Structure 1
Amino acid sequence: MELLFNVYKHSRRLIVQVSTRVIVIQSSAYSRLAEVGRLEAPKIQGKYDTGQLFLHRIFGYRGVVLFPWLARVYDRDVPNKKDRYRAQTEAVTFLGNQESSRSLYAIPGLDYVAHEDILPYTTTEKHPLSHELFDKFLMYYPDKDPPFGAQETLRAWQKKNHPWLELSDVHKETTEHVRVTVIPFYMGCRESQAASVYWWRYCIRLENLGELTVQLRERHWRIFSLSGTLETVRGRGVVGQEPVLSKQLPAFQYSSHVSLQAPSGHMWGTFRMEREDGYTFDCRIPPFSLESKSDESNPPSGVI
């Protein structure tokens, strides 16, 4: 799996490919074409190295790989299948070091991207991406391939945050041509005299594999804690939205958080989907475990 920077989403700029060139159309009062690099052949075997620039195949932004990881994939559509996975999210969140058990910090522009969604490219630009951490984490080496390498600050940051950055399991399931991918992350524990509260974040990606447009209308979650409690959560949409999955924009992704007063538990549920012809159905969310990690160090803060 790979942690990386992203630069922008497709909502503001459009990326097109002309032969092997990467062309960016910037949306402004004076639109212009700008060549930012040349595409390379995607890797079939092995993982991408730190410093590899890429285009996201579905979400259409540019990024650079920070860390490569492997993860187990539990695909309920293909029993016993395991593969490399790198999943895209909008930000990486951390449990802060403050006393409050609800102090969450987010670092925008840090994503996890699926191997098959990476379109690698090369460039001669020494500063190809605009991110406040790019120059702190990476340095330009003209004779290196890829030409960007990790600085000591990136290696130190990875060492400090490793238990809360690396994912281990990915869960997938498809219902009525809507594919749901879930990636859980353990964030740490906050202890007080009253209770211990364990925190996880989970990233969910929905992708429409069919021909007809569908819209997410409702969510229904079941959350089981090892303490013996079973919670039911129902509501309209997700993160305040009712996303539409069409041929033009087939995928939607979001992340959220859950806390338990026990070191482990499970989550599962359904999304109520409505197709453009009026047909409604429940799209299954594959069950996934919430497992804590034992680590003597404190969870990292969001301040770098």
Structure 2
Amino acid sequence: MDVLYVSLQKKLVHIGARLLVSNRNYARLAEVGRLETPKVSGKYETGQLILHRVFGYRGVVLFPWLARVYDRDIPQHRSNDEEPNPGVGKEVRGRTHTFYQVLIDQRDCPYIRAQTEAVTFLGNQESSRSLYAIPGLDYVAHEDIIPYVSAEKMPLNHELFDKFLTQNPKGDPPFIAQETLKAWQNKNHPWLELSDVHKETTENIRVTVIPFYMGCRESHANSVYWWRYCIRLENLGSLSVQLRERHWRIFSLSGTLETVRGRGVVGQEPALTRTLPAFQYSSHVSLQAPSGHMWGTFRMEREDGYTFDCRIPPFSLESKPDGGSATPPETV
């Protein structure tokens, strides 16, 4: 197995199969674990320590979740006697795929290009209008996980780690769920539930969208439904690309169609380069109807000056009854 190194200084650098952390002047390395072979089949269990393949952070699996993945880069299935249509590139049937809810090591949070407070939810009290965020939670696809093992008793720095997990006497996986985590999972909070994932590639820029229903706020005048959506952009090409503008279209079941334009995303114009090819962020949208649709484009500028519109795959905004829907997480 390859050795996983992390410096006692800061900055994250993901080099091949090793994770290094260094400052600008020197690197002082310390072994924190050993990489394991990623699973081709099966799933990772609660308590598995992981390294994120793209963002390079250390984390631990809380529990797996089944999602329907709609990949618009995959051609539609056709009958044997049907002629191929080069213009068709939409996968209309979702394919079941395993994702994982993961705690992120807080020591790595300042150095990754993904928001680390991306899991948000509404307060339970009817009188509350508060929006809460749980720090250091992420949803990770099975193929983005590199497993590792560590001899440390507390290998992950996160305020919820020892509340959710405890050492496994059998050692495989090294940690198991505490009753707190089991109870949290069994409540099946709608704001935790991942059900659909949408993907599409334009000019080597891969866009992945994961929408979450957050709940409804009711008043004497109307009802307002809220969703969170997480977007990941990844540059699959060799030339650097920078996101300059966003253009959204938001359709509500009430019949309204809203257009939103603006510079960058979440106050940034992220560059996707060879060394930093990915960027991930979350945002929110509300409708005065229980369902709707969103779609749009990102205006991208390549390092050679070429500009193009990168498509954001259309996705549904669907509300759910209290307590979630019929797509529960897998058992811990």
TM-score bin, normalised by smaller chain: 0.7 to 0.9
Q: Is the 8 Å Cα contact of residues 173 and 284 (structure 1) preserved in structure 2?
A: yes
The 5-angstrom pairing of residues 39-78 of structure 1 reads 39-78=35-74
Q: Which amino acid aligns with 1:285?
A: I
Q: Does 1:84 align with 2:97?
A: yes
| TM-aligned CA deviation for residue 29 of structure 1 | 7.5
Q: Which amino acid aligns with 1:227?
A: S
Q: Which amino acid aligns with 1:163?
A: P
% identical equivalent positions: 77
In structure 1, how many angstroms separate the alpha carbons of the residues matched to 2:16 and 2:235?
23
Q: Which amino acid aligns with 2:273?
A: S
In structure 2, how many angstroms separate the alpha carbons of the residues matched to 1:296 and 1:17?
42
Q: Secondary structure of 2:185's match?
A: helix
Q: Which amino acid aligns with 1:118?
A: I
In structure 1, how many angstroms separate the alpha carbons of the residues matched to 2:12 and 2:58?
11
Aligned to 2:247: 220
| TM-aligned CA deviation for residue 210 of structure 1 | 0.8
| TM-score under structure 2 length normalisation | 0.81
Q: Is the 8 Å Cα contact of residues 200 and 207 (structure 2) preserved in structure 1?
A: yes
The 5-angstrom pairing of residues 99-178 of structure 1 reads 99=126, 102-178=129-205
The 5-angstrom pairing of residues 126-275 of structure 1 reads 126-275=153-302
Q: Is the 8 Å Cα contact of residues 90 and 255 (structure 1) preserved in structure 2?
A: no
Q: Is the 8 Å Cα contact of residues 194 and 212 (structure 2) preserved in structure 1?
A: yes
Q: Secondary structure of 1:204's match?
A: strand
Q: Which amino acid aligns with 1:250?
A: P
More displaced, 90-99 or 80-89?
80-89
Aligned to 2:13: 14
| TM-aligned CA deviation for residue 296 of structure 1 | 6.0
| TM-aligned CA deviation for residue 158 of structure 1 | 1.8
In structure 2, how many angstroms separate the alpha carbons of the residues matched to 1:243 and 1:55?
23
In structure 1, how many angstroms separate the alpha carbons of the residues matched to 2:121 and 2:156?
24
Q: Secondary structure of 2:99's match?
A: coil
| TM-aligned CA deviation for residue 100 of structure 1 | 6.0
Q: Secondary structure of 1:113's match?
A: strand
5+ residue gaps, structure 1, are 1-10, 298-304
Change (3 A) 1:182 1:100: farther
Q: Is the 8 Å Cα contact of residues 23 and 34 (structure 1) preserved in structure 2?
A: no
In structure 2, how many angstroms separate the alpha carbons of the residues matched to 1:249 and 1:43?
25
Q: Is the 8 Å Cα contact of residues 45 and 64 (structure 2) preserved in structure 1?
A: yes
Q: Which amino acid aligns with 1:90?
A: T
In structure 2, how many angstroms separate the alpha carbons of the residues matched to 1:50 and 1:296?
22
In structure 1, how many angstroms separate the alpha carbons of the residues matched to 2:97 and 2:134?
24
Change (3 A) 1:226 1:159: same
Change (3 A) 1:277 1:24: closer
Q: Is the 8 Å Cα contact of residues 187 and 323 (structure 2) preserved in structure 1?
A: no
Q: Secondary structure of 2:258's match?
A: strand
| TM-aligned CA deviation for residue 12 of structure 1 | 2.9
| Number of residue pairs matched by the alignment | 285
RMSD (Å), alpha carbons: 2.2
| TM-aligned CA deviation for residue 163 of structure 1 | 2.4
| TM-aligned CA deviation for residue 156 of structure 1 | 1.3
Q: Deviations over 1:241-298 (max 9, x none)?
A: 000001110000000000001000000000000001111100000000000001269x
| TM-aligned CA deviation for residue 74 of structure 1 | 0.3
Q: Which amino acid aligns with 2:116?
A: E
Aligned to 1:8: none
| TM-aligned CA deviation for residue 90 of structure 1 | 2.6
In structure 2, how many angstroms separate the alpha carbons of the residues matched to 1:296 and 1:46?
28
In structure 2, how many angstroms separate the alpha carbons of the residues matched to 1:159 and 1:296?
10
Change (3 A) 1:222 1:164: same
